[in-house]
Amino acid sequence: MRRPASLPVAVTAAGGSPERAVEGAIERVISEVPAARTHEVADPDTAAGRIARDAAQKAALLSGSLALPPGPFGMLTVLPDIYLIWKVQRQMVADIFALYGREAELTRSHMLYCLFRHLASQVLRDVAVRAGQRVVVQQLTAGAMKSVLSTIGVKVSQRIAGSAASRWVPVAGAAVVGAYAYWDTQQVARTAQRLLESTAATAGTPDARPRER
């Protein structure tokens, strides 16, 4: 059985092209910042580590389970899979911000940065900029946000295409997909914690908090 040469039908059907479909999924997932399920604690680093591990395990189980159907059936789950994982990661970021008492600062620009910084650091260089010893997350104009989403959509689409073949190998492929989801979620958690640490000294100052509408 031949391996697919391009992205699966489930990805391309949603938006006419794989990149547009992925871009639309990213836009939907960052459009809403979920309510945190945690609260500020005395030792947020330790608590954040637990939240990250739980979320990574959930993402791995979810992704591995959806990747179990082999061949074309497994390919149909690619975009739903990655969208559900982003939702798990989105909730994790909200919970981590709350542990540090910073949930009021969390905007879609923060969410975009946390979810995709490890995959597209150069693309997001205008989202979070360093000012001295701190990092400031900036509000993007509508045009800039569209450009960033488009570029990230291309990068994510390329990653999906590169890993799609694993879904044609039952069980073993699911293990690989699940392991990647675990690693990916841990990277998102690290980005969120580093961002919070880098802005801790100036939290609450006007220029450290983007004013998105």
Q: Are 153 and 147 in contact (CB under 8 A)?
A: no
Closest CA to 24 of 13, 33, 15: 15
Using CA atoms of 151, 62, 107, 26 in order, give the dihedral in degrees to the nearest 10.
30
Mean pLDDT over the full length of the chain:
78
Q: Which amino acid is at 183?
A: W
Question: For residue 113, how many C-alpha atoms fall within 13 Å in the half-sphere facing its CB?
Answer: 25
Q: Which amino acid is at 98?
A: A
**Whole-number Å distance between alpha carbons of 129 and 109:** 12
Entry pTM: 0.78
Number of helices followed by number of strands (H, E) in the chain:
8, 2
pLDDT digits (tens, 9 = 90+) for 134-167: 677 877 788 888 888 999 988 888 777 655 555 5
pLDDT at 14: 43
Q: Are 12 and 21 in contact (CB under 8 A)?
A: yes
* Strand runs labelled E in the chain: 128-131, 134-137
Average pLDDT estimate for 35-44: 96
- Give the largest CA-CA distance in the chain: 59
pLDDT digits (tens, 9 = 90+) for 71-123: 444 445 577 788 899 999 999 999 999 999 999 999 999 999 999 999 887 78
DSSP 79: H
pLDDT at 137: 80
**Whole-number Å distance between alpha carbons of 161 and 169:** 15
**Whole-number Å distance between alpha carbons of 171 and 148:** 35
